[in-house]
């Protein structure tokens, strides 16, 4: 059965054009990520192939981690070897997607203003953590929350909502997936998180021996950042479980 296409509308033509650039960049440089076919480009809308399926669940984490590892490794090998985490990444037309440090420094300061960080000391601690994680090979961040992937009836994985990309260290977007699975379903087992990290590193390393070095301490640092950055969404959009600043998982049974 052919499904009716899906049309997404954007607030401005500029946002629609940026979404097209990001979509095409992923198709060119992160080929392991399958996206819906882009059927029509309008002035402020895009029409995509529609897929039926479900969002990601905790049991999908090993496959998802492997997929992200391959996507990040492929993007690094194809286009991100010379990228810097503190500098926006330029497309051939001169436009760019955001850097890692600048965007998240602004976001952390905003969380402090909103009251999600209790004082300046907590803000400076998070800014220090951000600075400490800004090293190593560059990957990209596409907001890998469970709803931004569709798992079809044939178990194919389709990536959706790639409108906004930014640079990020290897492992940062995997941490976002783990964080949002926790927010949605509750704490994941420690064994499952370690297995996902191993799958991610193994996949990334298959693209270059210099990749796939994210360790558990670094992953937990990313999770600490995500705890603050996602704090406003707890209680909304299916996020029912708060993510603690000091990250703990359930022990293996």
pLDDT at 2: 76
How does the average pLDDT of the chain come out, rounded?
Answer: 93
> 61-75 and 190-205 helices cross at what angle (nearest 10)?
30
pLDDT at 200: 98
Q: Report domain 54-233's class.
A: alpha beta
Has residue 249 got a pLDDT over 80? Answer: no
* Cα-based angle 167, 15, 50 (whole degrees, multiple of 5): 90
Q: How many CA atoms lie within 13 A of 146 on its CB side?
A: 20
pTM: 0.94
**Can you give the residue ranges of every domain in the chain?**
54-233
Average pLDDT rounded to a whole number, residues 146-150: 96
Sign of CA dihedral 127, 163, 200, 234: positive
Average pLDDT rounded to a whole number, residues 208-230: 96
Average pLDDT rounded to a whole number, residues 131-141: 96
């Amino acid at each position: 059965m052919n499904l009716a296409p899906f049309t997404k509308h954007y607030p401005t033509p500029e946002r629609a054009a940026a979404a097209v650039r990001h979509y095409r960049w992923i198709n060119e440089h992160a080929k392991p990520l399958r996206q819906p076919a882009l059927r029509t480009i309008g002035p402020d809308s895009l029409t995509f192939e529609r897929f039926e399926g479900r969002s990601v669940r905790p049991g999908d984490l090993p496959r998802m981690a492997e997929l992200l590892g391959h996507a990040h490794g492929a993007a690094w090998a194809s286009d991100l070897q010379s990228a810097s985490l503190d500098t926006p990444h330029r497309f051939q037309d001169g436009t760019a997607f955001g850097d890692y440090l600048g965007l998240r420094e602004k976001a952390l300061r905003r969380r402090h203003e909103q009251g999600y960080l209790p004082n300046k000391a907590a803000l400076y601690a998070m800014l220090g953590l951000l600075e400490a994680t800004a090293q190593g090979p560059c990957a990209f961040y596409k907001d890998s929350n469970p709803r931004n992937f569709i798992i079809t009836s044939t178990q194919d994985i389709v990536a959706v909502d790639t409108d906004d990309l930014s640079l990020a260290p290897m492992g940062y977007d995997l941490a976002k997936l783990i964080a949002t699975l926790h927010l949605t379903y509750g704490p994941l087992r420690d064994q499952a998180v370690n297995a996902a990290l191993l799958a991610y590193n193994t996949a990334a390393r298959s693209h270059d021996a210099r990749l796939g070095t994210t360790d558990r301490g670094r992953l937990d640092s990313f999770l600490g950042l995500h705890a603050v950055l996602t704090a406003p969404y707890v209680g909304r959009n299916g996020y029912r479980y708060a993510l603690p600043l000091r990250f703990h998982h359930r022990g293996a049974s």
